[in-house]
Chain A
Amino acid sequence: MAVLQVEAVRKSYPGVVALDHVDLTLEPGKIHILAGENGAGKSTLIKTLTGLVTPDEGTVLIEGQDALADHSLFSRIAYVPQELNLFPSMTVAENMFMPFHRSGFGHLTISRKAMEAEASRFIERFGIHARPGQTVSRISVSDQQLLQIARAACRDEFKVLILDEPTSSLTANETEHLFRIITTLRDSGCAIVFVSHKMEEIFSLGDTVTVLRNGRSVGTYPMDGMTEDQLIRLMSGSSVQLEEKFQPRGDIDDSDILLSVEGLTGPGFSDVSFQLRRGEILGFAGLVGAGRSEVMQTMFGYHSAKSGRCMFNGKEIPRGRTDRAVAMGMVYLSEERKHHGIFPLLSVRENISLSVLEKMKRGGIISSGKEKSIVSETIQKFDVRTSSVGKKIVFLSGGNQQKAIIGRAMARRPRILIFDEPTKGIDIGTKFQIYRIMQQLAEEGVGIILVSSEMTELQRCATRIITMYGGRTTGSFDQATTDVNTLVGAIIGATETRHVA
């Protein structure tokens, strides 16, 4: 009998359908792999399984009972998120039983002794190398990871354990130890959901796999007899749609190099070298955490480089100076629109004009006439929909905020533009508007870097694609002559990558 059954679940957010008629059935004593590219809907599905997200349609049955009607059933699902979220300065036992009133230790005073005795049971069961009274910051990362699993599991008798990329910060040995624990849990009759991008893990652990793509379930397959190639094809969608392409038309002069990065090493990546030519759209493919954004932000001066250099038209960009990079003609549009893009307390007008205030000066003073005309020009050109320019930008939709920010960047007339996931959380119509803007700029001679986790987006826009895995570049491919399976292979660190260009 299935422990957990999800049927025809649908969840939409304004402008995006995150899940569209997804089915999932978990059997006890099986490890179920959840596979799919970034943005395929895995995390929304997990949130549905744990009760954090209530679906618009569909049913969630836990041991045959309707969990959407009775939320307490979700306590049988143990969930371990990807990032460690422990209290580093508290003890192992304290971390395990927080919040205390839920675990039965929340009396007037907390008996350290009783709690530590209880904790040592779990420490043994999960094979954690730590004493209950030890401070968490002093135990190894893998033990912290195991502690996190133990914490999720010690609440109730859990029936399902969900692990979201649990090995992303572990070494090979630590991973092996973790896998032994996971198989022991499986053999004791627990249903396990395992999310990973790493092929070797998927194939060594999985009993069943469900593949998601663009919020739909492609299907559920037994892992027996599945090949790596097949799985990659299922994830990426072998039939790439013959839709509109946005590569810049016209020839690119190979010797006309705008930006040259040489052996750049910084936070989370090392020894990255590449060149950007005038008029090309250079794609950067990779998984979340591959180091793509870090490379861009370091080039731009937001982070300090440890070694290496970036030459812009033959002149070195000074390290750690975003103002100099901008002055030289480079603009970076961050993936984190909320944290790095908009100024929430300022109006649409102030948000847009901020990058070009120097152009609006008349005798050191901002000329409101010039400001008005530049802002309204930008709003018109980039189709920013707002009832008034005096409105605070946070009241605009995500897509319109993004267009306002792109417009702000364009107003500076940059020579190099870095788009970091420019279409994240944006509906399809706006997406294509942004593609058209990129194409037009490239044709005007701007060098464009497009960081994207969506393969279809890169294939639709980029002329060349650089792949990254684990903080290193793993290849450089000419878009026109490379198939998607090769690219997916390169971003998940598959051993054989063919260098085409």
Chain B
Amino acid sequence: MSLETTLPGATPTPPKVSSIRALIARMVANPLGGVIGAMILIFGISCLLSPHFLTSFNMIIIARALAFIGLVTIGQAVLMILGELDLSVGAIGGLAGVVGGMLMVQVGLNPWLSLALCLLMGAGCGLLNGLLITQLRLHSLVLTIGMAGVYGGANLVATRGVAITGVPHEISFLGRGLVLGVPVPFLVLLVCLTVVAFVMMRTPVGRYIYAIGSNPQAARMLGIRVNAIRMGAFALAGFLSALAGILMVARLGTAQPSIGDTWVLSPIAAAVIGGVATTGGLGSPVGAVLGAVIIGIIEDIIVLFGISPYWQSVVSGGIVVLAISLDSLARHYLNRDAS
């Protein structure tokens, strides 16, 4: 690795340690290095552990499951980079799903129109969150806990807790179909991720989002439209959650009121694993989705191993804690001799 160590007379340092250190240093330096490294590691271990892991059937299962959580993760990651959080994303997804089901089945509207209305409604719910937070100067965490109750409650009022069956076949392709062997929801995720990642990296609005997350006062002093961008980000998160909700309906063929119940905490954990700071200003949606991939693989391998469902959340939660500790441990290891 380092030439000096091989020169005669130079102080001998064990090259192995320095190369490991350099590798860790490079992974920490690259914002995505850590999460990509962890993902490859977990993928490799999974391949060794189970012969059923690296099969096209299993890969399709992982990809499809990932798509829904991934879409929600994108929106949550953008909000977290901005320094906000939305705990009502799951409720918005569920509400969008059942409203979609009702429009198609009970109202008999054109499925595609229903889908568009649902997405609009999701964006509207997000926008409402953003509007209340910015205009009433509320803390996003508290407000969205309340709004999660409102949206979730509206869902139960509308459905009385009963699933809406008989969703038209035209849209089931969106949830169940494969294109070139790849599940359609996963393709939708890739498209959304590409667009959002591009906006975050290469446009002024993306740069402003990082700036606001880094220092909101300074952003206002600079004349950045902080509140408008905040509201836009909440609307985006609502839109993506609604998209995940309606894709789930298409996949199940029924609009379950319980859709979205598990979409709140996993995306936040995924974003943190992927390098998004809970305090804002750091990370990327790509990293966050890779974090979701890690969680998805872990959950899959737990199933493949036939671990008792009661233990599943203990194991996956433990691994999440381990994964986020690794980054901080790696930094600590590097700084130990540096100072």
**Which residues in A have some Cβ–Cβ distance to B below 8 Å?**
300, 302, 322-323, 325-327, 332, 334, 339-346, 350, 353-355, 357-358, 361, 364-366
B218: chain A residues within 8 A (beta carbon): 334, 339-343
What distance in Å separates the Cβ of A270 from its nearest Cβ neighbour in chain B? 23
- B214, B221, B281, B282 pick with most chain A CB within 10 angstroms: B221
Chain B residues, Cβ within 8 Å of A366: 202-204, 207
Q: In the docked arrangement, what's the CA distance between A342 and B203, Å?
A: 20
Contact present for A322 and B220 (CB under 8 Å) = yes
28 A-B pairs in the complex with CB atoms less than 8 angstroms apart: A302-B221, A322-B221, A323-B224, A323-B225, A325-B223, A340-B215, A340-B218, A341-B218, A343-B215, A345-B210, A346-B211, A346-B281, A350-B210, A350-B211, A353-B207, A354-B211, A354-B224, A355-B223, A357-B207, A357-B208, A358-B204, A361-B204, A364-B203, A365-B203, A366-B202, A366-B203, A366-B204, A366-B207
**Contact status of A302 and B222, CB under 8 A, knowing A343-B215, A357-B207, A365-B202:** no
Q: Interface of B with A (CB < 8 Å)?
A: 202-204, 207-208, 210-211, 213-215, 217-225, 281-282
Closest residue to B279 on the A side, CB-wise? A345
- Residues from chain B with a CB closer than 8 A to the CB of A357 are 204, 207-208
Query: Which of B217, B223, B224, B281 contacts A339 (CB under 8 A)?
Result: B217
User: Which of B207, B217, B223, B225 is within 8 Å of A350, CB to CB?
Assistant: B207
Give Cα A326 to B208, complex, Å: 15
The docked-state distance in angstroms from the alpha carbon of A343 to that of B212 is 8
| Chain A residue nearest to B277 in the complex (CB) | A345
Q: How far is the CA of A364 from the CA of B195 in the complex (A)?
A: 13
B339 to chain A, nearest CB (A): 15
Bound-complex Cα distance A350 to B210 (A) = 10
Separation in Å of the B153 CB from the closest CB of chain A?
33
Chain A CB count within 10 A is highest, among B202, B214, B224, for B214
Contact status of A346 and B221, CB under 8 A, knowing A357-B204, A364-B203, A366-B204: no
The interface residues of chain A lying within 8 Å CB-to-CB of B214 are: 343-346
B202 close to A343 (CB less than 8 A): no
Q: Which of A334, A343, A358, A365 contacts B211 (CB 8 A)?
A: A343
Q: In the complex, are the beta carbons of B202 and A340 less than 8 A apart?
A: no
Query: Is the beta-carbon distance between A334 and B221 smaller than 8 angstroms?
Result: yes
Chief secondary structure at chain B's binding surface: helix
Are B217 and A340 in contact, with the CB atoms below 8 A? yes
- 11 new A-B contacts, CB < 8 A, other than A343-B210, A344-B215, are A323-B225, A326-B222, A334-B221, A339-B215, A342-B218, A343-B218, A344-B281, A346-B210, A354-B211, A357-B204, A365-B203
Give B81's nearest chain A residue, CB to CB. A345
Residue of B nearest to A324 (CB): B223
Q: Which chain B residue has the least Cβ–Cβ distance from A408?
A: B222
B220 contacts across to A, CB distance below 8 A? 302, 322
Give the distance to chain B from A480, nearest Cβ to Cβ, in Å.
33
CB distance from B233 to the nearest CB of A (A): 17
Question: Among the interface residues B213, B218, B219, which one has the most CB atoms of the partner chain A within 10 A?
Answer: B218
Q: Which residues of the partner chain A approach B215 to less than 8 Å between Cβ atoms?
A: 339-340, 342-344
User: Closest residue to A366 on the B side, CB-wise?
Assistant: B202
B217 partner residues in chain A, CB cutoff 8 A: 339-340
Chain B residues with Cβ below 8 Å from A325 are 223
Task: Look across to chain A and name the residue whose beta carbon is closest to the beta carbon of B220.
Answer: A322
CB contacts (< 8 Å) of A322 on chain B: these are: 220-223
Q: Which residues of A contact B219 (CB under 8 A)?
A: 343
CA distance in complex: A323, B211 (Å): 15
How many angstroms from the CA of A302 to the CA of B281 in the assembled complex?
22
How far does the Cβ of A243 sit from chain B's closest Cβ, in whole Å? 32
Cα–Cα distance between A346 and B81 once the two chains are bound (Å): 12
A353 and B208 CA atoms in complex are apart in Å by: 11
Closest to B202 in A: A365
For the complex, give the distance between the alpha carbons of A419 and B89 in Å: 43
Whole-angstrom CA separation of A334 from B220 in the bound complex: 11
Which residues of the other chain, B, contact A340 by a CB distance below 8 angstroms?
215, 217-218, 221
Q: What are the nearest 9 A-B pairs in CB distance?
A: A326-B223, A357-B204, A345-B281, A345-B214, A343-B214, A323-B223, A340-B221, A323-B225, A365-B202
Report which residue of A326, A327, A344, A345 has the largest number of chain B beta carbons within 10 angstroms of its beta carbon: A345
Q: How far is the CA of A284 from the CA of B116 in the complex (A)?
A: 57
Closest B residue to A358 by beta carbon equals B204
Give Cα A342–Cα B219 distance, bound, in whole angstroms. Answer: 9
Chain B min CB distance to A329 (Å): 11
A355 to B222, CA, bound (A): 7
A6 to chain B, nearest CB (A): 34
Instruction: Closest B residue to A350 by CB, please name it.
Output: B207
Shortest distance between the CB of A11 and any CB in chain B (Å): 25
Residues of B within 8 A of A350 (CB): 207, 210-211
Neighbouring A residues of B221 by C-beta, 8 Å: 300, 302, 322, 332, 334, 340-341
A202 CB to nearest B CB, Å: 36
Query: Nearest-CB distance from A338 to chain B (Å)?
Result: 9
Which residues of A have CB within 8 Å of B223?
A: 322-323, 325-327, 355
B224 neighbours in A (Cβ, 8 Å): 323, 354
Distance between Cα atoms of A302 and B208 in the complex (Å)? 18
Within 8 Å by CB of B213, from A327, A345, A355, lies A345
Q: How distant is the Cα of A423 from the Cα of B209 in the complex, in angstroms?
A: 30
Closest to B207 in A: A357
Q: Give B25 Cβ to nearest chain A Cβ, in Å.
A: 16
Q: How far is the CA of A120 from the CA of B66 in the complex (A)?
A: 65
Give A365 to B222 CA distance when docked, in angstroms. Answer: 20
B residues less than 8 Å from A344 (CB atoms): 214-215, 281
* A300 nearest in chain B by CB position: B221
Instruction: Give CA–CA (A300, B223) in the complex, Å.
Output: 9
Give chain A nearest CB distance to B283 CB in angstroms. 10
CA distance A350 to B224 in the complex (A): 14
Query: A355: nearest residue on chain B (CB-CB)?
Result: B222
**A353 CA to B207 CA in the complex, in Å?**
10
